[in-house]
Structure 1
Amino acid sequence: MLGNFTYCNPTRVHFGEKALEALSGELAGYGGKVLLAYGGGSIKKSGLYQQVVDILNRCGKEVFELPGVMPNPTVEKLYEGCRIAREHDVDLILAVGGGSVCDYAKALSVSAWCAQDPWEKYYLRMEDVDNRIIPVGCVLTMVGTGSEMNGGSVITNHRQKRKIGHVFGSNVMPKFTILNPTYTFTVPMKQMVAGIYDAFNHICEQYFSGTDDNTTDYIAEGLMKSLIVSSRAALRNPEDYEARSNIMWAATWALNTLLAMGKSTDWEVHMIGQSIGAYTDATHGMTLSAVSLAYYRFIMEYGLPKFARFAVNVWGVDPRGKDDRALAQAGLEAMEAWMKELGVAMNIRDLGVTEDMLEGIADGTFLLSGGYRELTRADVIQILKASM
């Protein structure tokens, strides 16, 4: 490993079927006013909503509800939450739901007491937090984003056709997270596979960079292999606890900052995917799957040794008689076959992208320098066309 780094992840994780029992103890560390943020009616149908509310009541908390957090949280929803959080001067934001609710809670935590427009300050100018931060806790119901153990938060502005993520520091990370794999059993199959691919691509974004022998690359390969094995088991039986628990834990470690230590990272698939999401509001994991193969085939030549290693160490491609290029191609073919097994989106047209959107999507794509090649706007257009 060649990089210098400082590693800290302050999120305390409670994992397993009895994880919710830890919520009472966590709540004891905060004041009496809790803002409960959640999405639609799924947590009420499953009974989780009532379980959480009962615990909050037993702990003597005054609860203010913020329902309706959408899969791609909007800036308008953020402003709504800011008004509620300030009006009641809440002590804790408790996010119950998937990664989008966790993302939203973190955005709200830094925005509620921001003296400026938080969209402009945090998402356009990418400034640091210099105001009061409301602590966040999470009860996760869908895996994929890793938002339950990191400082990232993605917000969509439909009017500006921008979907932007800001990775905040450790002071914004959730203070605690409840991870019970059984909460994911009721997630629709489409959302399950989108989350699996989201987690897999998080690992890819950190893996396909650098040329040194890096410990985290070995960890990344193990996590990818675990996701592949467990995803196939979950496809056969969505209520396979062992498979769903492995997927949940791998997804958390895929983006809790560990894999980024000591190396550069790519994230260009996410930049393109997020820009697509701003135009289509498509499921995040599907925007990633729809552009991944075109992107990796585009940059493969610039990182051939790593793509060859990916083929052998992750997909078990036999290296005998193959040079790096042949191995790299075989690895991406194996990845494509697995993606088709999952049933994720394989092109952007199926997500609602039309030819007339391509220029705007390219304009909304941040061009980063951490991968094997820094893209140009023309490169993005070429990748988008190859993804149609």
Structure 2
Amino acid sequence: MLGDFTYENPCRLHFGPNALDELSGELAKFGPKVLLTYGGGSIKRSGLYQKVIAALEAAGKTVVEVPGVMSNPTADKLREGAKVARENDVDLILAVGGGSTIDYAKGVSVSAWTEGDPWEHLYLNMEQPTGKIIPVGDILTMSGTGSEMNAGSVITNHEEGLKIGHVFGSDVMPRFAIVNPELTFTVPDYQMRAGIFDAFNHIQEQYFSGTDDNTSDYIAEGLMRSLVHASRIAVKDPTNYEARSNISWVCTWALNTLIACGKSTDWEVHMLGQAIGAVTDATHGMTLSTVALPYYRLVMPYGVKKFARFATSVFDVPADGKTDEQLAEAGLAAMSDWMDQIGVVRHASELGLTKENIPAAVRATIILDGGYHKLTTEEVEKIFRQSL
């Protein structure tokens, strides 16, 4: 491994069928006022909301709520939550839901006491929080984003046609996370499949960079192999606990900063996917599945040895005297077959991307340089056109 790095993750994660039993002990560590945030109401239908409220009441907490967090949390919703958190001077934000709800909670945690407009300062200008940061805890109901154990927060501004993620410092990471894979059984099939690909691509974004012999890459390969195996089971048997628990665990480790250690990391597929989300409001994981292969086919010649390794180490493509180029192409073909097996969206036109709004998506795309090749604006447009 080359270079220097510091690893820190303060999140205490409780995992398994009885993980929710640990909530009361976690709540005791924080002050009396709690902001509870969640999405569209599925946690009420499943009965999880009632269990959480009972735990909060038993812990003597005063609870205020911000429900209705959408799948792509907006700048306006962020401002609403920040106002509620500030006016009630809450001691903890408890997010119950998937990655969007947890992303939102972290956004509120840094926005409530930051002077000025949080969208402008924290997302558009990528500034650091200026006020106190409210602790966050989470109860995960959908695996995929890894938001339960990282400091990232993605917010969408429809008026400006932008979707921007800000990875804050370790002081924004949730203080605790409760991950019961059984809670993910209630997620719609479409969302489960989207989450699987989101996690897979999180690993790819960190894997496809650098040329040194890096321990992080070996860990990444193991995570990808596990996810591919478990996903094939889960799409056929969504309530298979073993498969869903492995998916949940992989999704957490895919983006809790561990496998980024010693890496430059890429993240361009996410920039492309978020740009599609900015103009269509489509499900995040599915935006990634439409642009990943066009992107990787374009950059593969610049990092062909790693792509060849990906083929043999993740998808068991036999070398059989193949050149690195042939192996690399076979690996992407195997990835394409797997994507069809788990049923993710392959064409961005199904998500609302059109030839007419491609220019807006190009404008919304942030071009990074951590991977094997820095895209040109023309190449961004080419990828979007190929994704249709």
TM-score of the two chains, using structure 1 as the length reference: 0.99
**What per-residue deviation string (whole Å, max 9, x for no partner) do you get for residues 171-218 of structure 1?**
000000000000001111100000000000000000001000000000
Name the counterpart of 2:39.
39
Q: Is it true that 1:208 corresponds to 2:208 in the alignment?
A: yes
Residue-pair matches, total: 388
**1:236 CA displacement:** 1.7
The DSSP-based 3-state class of the residue aligned with 1:218 is helix
Distance in 1 (CA, whole Å) between partners of 2:242 and 2:173 is: 27
Q: Is it true that 1:158 corresponds to 2:158 in the alignment?
A: yes
Name the counterpart of 1:377.
377
Name the counterpart of 1:223.
223
- For residues 254-265 of structure 1, the aligned pairs below 5 Å read 254-265=254-265
- For residues 259-278 of structure 1, the aligned pairs below 5 Å read 259-278=259-278
- For residues 1-388 of structure 1, the aligned pairs below 5 Å read 1-388=1-388
Assess if the C-alpha contact under 8 Å between 2:115 and 2:130 holds in 1. Answer: no
Distance in 1 (CA, whole Å) between partners of 2:246 and 2:221 is: 15
The DSSP-based 3-state class of the residue aligned with 2:276 is helix
Distance in 1 (CA, whole Å) between partners of 2:222 and 2:315 is: 11
Distance in 1 (CA, whole Å) between partners of 2:262 and 2:175 is: 25
The DSSP-based 3-state class of the residue aligned with 1:63 is strand
The DSSP-based 3-state class of the residue aligned with 2:222 is helix
**1:130 CA displacement:** 2.3
Distance in 2 (CA, whole Å) between partners of 1:359 and 1:376 is: 14
**What is the CA RMSD across the aligned residues, in angstroms?**
0.6
State the identity %.
64
Distance in 1 (CA, whole Å) between partners of 2:210 and 2:83 is: 44
Amino acid at match of 1:127: E
**1:49 CA displacement:** 0.3
**What per-residue deviation string (whole Å, max 9, x for no partner) do you get for residues 15-44 of structure 1?**
001101111111111111100000011101
Distance in 1 (CA, whole Å) between partners of 2:42 and 2:132 is: 32
Assess if the C-alpha contact under 8 Å between 2:163 and 2:275 holds in 1. Answer: yes
Moved over 2 A (4+): none
The DSSP-based 3-state class of the residue aligned with 2:319 is coil
Distance in 2 (CA, whole Å) between partners of 1:224 and 1:120 is: 36
**What per-residue deviation string (whole Å, max 9, x for no partner) do you get for residues 125-181 of structure 1?**
101122111100000000100000000000000000100000000000000000000
Distance in 1 (CA, whole Å) between partners of 2:298 and 2:351 is: 21
Distance in 2 (CA, whole Å) between partners of 1:56 and 1:152 is: 26
Amino acid at match of 1:164: I
**1:321 CA displacement:** 2.2
The DSSP-based 3-state class of the residue aligned with 1:178 is strand
Distance in 2 (CA, whole Å) between partners of 1:149 and 1:114 is: 23
Assess if the C-alpha contact under 8 Å between 2:35 and 2:64 holds in 1. Answer: yes
Distance in 2 (CA, whole Å) between partners of 1:331 and 1:81 is: 44
Distance in 2 (CA, whole Å) between partners of 1:327 and 1:15 is: 38
Assess if the C-alpha contact under 8 Å between 2:289 and 2:345 holds in 1. Answer: yes
Specify every segment of 5 or more residues in structure 1 that has no aligned partner in the other structure, as ranges.
none
